[in-house]
Amino acid sequence: MSFVNMRRKLLLGNWKMNKLVSEAKEFAIASRPLAEKAKANNIDLGVSPTYLSLAAVKENASKDMIVAAQNVHFNDHGAFTGEISIPMLLELGITWCLIGHSERRAYDNETDEKCNLKIKALIANKMIPVYCVGETLDEFEAGKTKEVVSRQVKVGLKDLTKEDVKDLVVAYEPVWSIGTGKNASTEIAEDVCGYIRSVLKEMFGEMSEEIRILYGGSVKPENIKAYLSCPDIDGALVGGASLKQDSYEGLLTNIL
C-alpha cells in the first residue's frame, strides 16, 4: 500500500460523571502547557467534561484544547426536561460532542437510531461528533463483534454524505474493556478499527481515509503507544487515565 496516513492523532479524555466544576477548572488551567505541547507535535488534545463544567473548562483551558460535550439532544429547544441542546453548546463555543458512549447505550436507551438523529443535528450545525461503537462481552464471546459495529456504523451514520463525514471521529470501544482494566489486544483493536474503516469505505468511498478512528478501553500511559502505532488507530478515547493530571500528561508524552 502506498497510501500515507495524513490523519492527525487525537487524544481525548472522557471524564464521565467526575470532577466538580472547581476541579475541572483547575485541571483546565494546569493543562495549558500540555495543549501547547500537543499542538507543537501535531496532536489534537481534548477533554470531555460534564455539562456543568463545560463553560469553566472552555474559558480556562488553552484555546488549542478540544472541549467536547458528553451528549446532546437532537432538538434545538422544547419540553425535554434534563436535556441540553446544540445551540446551548454553541453559545459556550463547544463544537465537539461524544455520541453513543456505551454507558449511555446501556443506561439511557441510546439507540443507533437516536445516535443518527444526534449526529445529523451536530453535523448540520458544523459540529464534530465522536461516535462511539463497540460490542458487549456477550457479543464478543459469540463472535459478533463485526456484525455489531457494522450495524452501529451503518445506522448511526445513515443519510450522511461524504462531505458530512469528513471531520467525524469514530471511537471503537469494546464494552468489556471500558473501565475494567481488560484491554483489547492491539491485534483485536487494529482488526476491528480496520474493519470499521472498510465499512466507512463502503458508505463514503475514499473519504473513509480522512475519518479518524480511535480506540478506547482501559488505555493508559503504558499501553497507549502500542495502540497508536497501529495503522488504522488514529488516537484514543480515555476514561480513567484522563482524570489525573500526571497520567493525562503521561498519555500525551508517551505518544510524542
Active site residues: 101, 173
82 contacts: CB under 8 Å, gap ≥ 6: none
Phi, psi for 31 (deg, rounded to 5)? -90, 0
Length of the chain in terms of residues written: 256
Q: Which is closer to ligand PEP, CB of 217 or CB of 221?
A: 217
The secondary structure of the chain in percent helix, strand, coil, rounded to multiples of 5, reads 45, 15, 40
Q: For the CB of residue 12, give the shortest distance to ligand PEP in the complex, in Å.
A: 9
Which residues are 254's β-sheet partners? none
CB-CB neighbours of 78 under 10 Å:
8
Among the listed residues 31, 70, 145, 218, the single contact to ligand PEP using CB under 6 A: 218
**Interface region with ligand PEP, contact rule CB under 6 A, candidates 63-71, 150-158, 225-233, 238-246:** 238-246
Q: For the CB of residue 43, give the shortest distance to ligand PEP in the complex, in Å.
A: 18
Q: Which of residues 12-41 bind ligand PEP (CB under 6 A)?
A: 14, 16
Cell numbers standing for residue 250: 503521561
Among the listed residues 219, 224, 228, 233, the single contact to ligand PEP using CB under 6 A: 219
DSSP letter, residue 240: G
Site string for ligand PEP, 144-183 (x = CB under 6 A): -----------------------------x----xx----
Site string for ligand PEP, 176-215 (x = CB under 6 A): --xx------------------------------------
240 contacts ligand PEP (rule: CB under 6 A): yes
Side chain identity, residue 107: Y
Q: Which is closer to ligand PEP, CB of 69 or CB of 178?
A: 178
Residues near ligand PEP (CB under 6 A), total: 14
**Interface region with ligand PEP, contact rule CB under 6 A, candidates 17-25, 88-96, 140-148, 239-247:** 239-247
Among the listed residues 100, 134, 174, 217, the single contact to ligand PEP using CB under 6 A: 217
Calculated CA dihedral for residues 125, 130, 136, 142, nearest 10 degrees: 100
Cell numbers standing for residue 24: 475541572
β pairing state of 66-69 and 43-48 = parallel
C-alpha–C-alpha distance, residues 89 and 40, integer Å: 27
Under 8 Å between Cβ of 232 and 194: yes
Query: Which residues of the chain form contacts with ligand PEP (CB under 6 A)?
Result: 14, 16, 173, 178-179, 216-219, 237-241
